[in-house]
Amino acid sequence: MRLTLTLTLTLTLTLILTLTLTLPVFAWNAVGHRIIAQIAYDQLTPQTKKQVDELTGVLFHSRYPEDRFARASTWPDRIKKNTTAYNQWHYINLPYVNNKVTPLSVNADNVVWAINRAEKIVADPTENNFRRAKYLSFLIHFVGDIEQPLHCATLYDEQFRQGDHGGNDYLIQSPMAKNLHQLWDRGVGLFIVDQNHYQFHYYQVQTIATRWMQDYPRTFFGTRLAVQSPEQWAQESYHIAITFAYTLPKNTAPSENYIEQGQQITREQIVLAGDRLADVLNHLYTLRYH
């Protein structure tokens, strides 16, 4: 992970405001997932686009295929209001153990399992289109979730003998977030502007996606894009969590340096997620039609 800074915090915030991206604090799961979806959609082959466009049309009503794809990316979070059945699918509690505390077992129905399951169902022509459309949304969303470091690690220490639930119990002092997980869900501040002025424009997401893809072309990630295993993706995110995210001490405010580096990591992870999602979908439909 390259942590050399390319933008200062001031320039980052200026970029966001210049784009008038006045977004609500819905976290990585709203703003970030739509950017990931745009990055992925821009790299789909014509054959893959044809197939995913048909499936997104089953669940979402918009004449614009890219808009349906973006809506699919956030749907798994929206349904949490009505059901908890899929909550564990969004993360994996890989234990980060301090002070010889015995960790709990890793949740079995986790994001790694969910990605593998979704791939199989989406690619299965014997499944009905509603079920395939539902699992396409899961796939789009979970490939994004697995690149968020705090979706792949849980701290166990003297304070958190039952784990800190992916940083949700790890309190910090910051106007950006009340805990470490929330801080990273919000892109370490990248996705926070004025909550009182909410607008969400597709073209703003498209602009950011295009710029970040230029900043982090596929060559930037090197051999990481050759890794097609969700298990390994989770390990990469876990490594970021334990080597960087958790370096912020409990009950303290993130330094400017931490924010700058965290935002750069966020940009990298989001582009990487989009690239990997595109590769997964293109691969699925290449196998199916050849």
> Contact, 91 vs 145, CB < 8 A?
yes
- Residue 204 maps to a domain: yes
pLDDT at 287: 67
- Per-residue pLDDT for the chain (290 aa), expressed as one digit of tens each? 444 444 434 334 344 433 333 333 344 558 899 999 999 999 999 999 999 999 999 999 999 999 999 999 999 999 999 999 999 999 999 999 998 899 999 999 999 999 999 999 999 999 999 999 999 999 999 999 999 999 999 999 999 999 999 999 999 999 999 999 999 999 999 987 555 433 457 788 899 999 999 999 999 999 999 999 999 999 999 999 999 999 999 999 999 999 999 999 999 999 999 999 999 999 999 866 55
Which tokens go with 9? 């915090």
Which tokens go with 221? 């990630």
- Residue 16 maps to a domain: no
Number of domains in the chain: 1
For residue 177, the Cα-to-chain-centroid distance in whole angstroms is: 17
Q: Do β-strands 171-174 and 95-97 pair in parallel, antiparallel, or remain unpaired? A: unpaired
Give buried/exposed letters for 206-224 (b at 16+ CB in 10 A, else e): bbbbeebbeebeeeebeeb
| Long-range contacts formed by 85-93: CB under 8 A, 24+ apart | 86/114, 86/138, 89/113, 89/114, 89/138, 89/142, 90/114, 90/141, 90/142, 90/145, 90/151, 91/145, 91/151, 91/152, 91/166, 92/146, 92/151, 92/152, 92/234, 93/153, 93/154, 93/163, 93/165, 93/166
CATH number at residue 226: 1.10.575.10
- Residue 134 maps to a domain: yes
- Residue 7 maps to a domain: no
- Residue 147 maps to a domain: yes
pLDDT at 286: 86
pTM here? Answer: 0.89
- Residue 10 maps to a domain: no
Most distant CA pair in the chain, distance: 55
What 3-state class would DSSP assign to 277?
Answer: helix
Radius of gyration of the chain (CA): 18
Q: Which residue has the tokens 């790890």?
A: 170
Strand positions, DSSP E, the chain: 95-97, 154-156, 171-174, 177-179
Residue-number span of the structural domain to which 161 is assigned: 30-287
- Residue 22 maps to a domain: no
Triad 250, 183, 90: Cα angle to 5°: 110
- Residue 9 maps to a domain: no
Which tokens go with 216? 């982090």
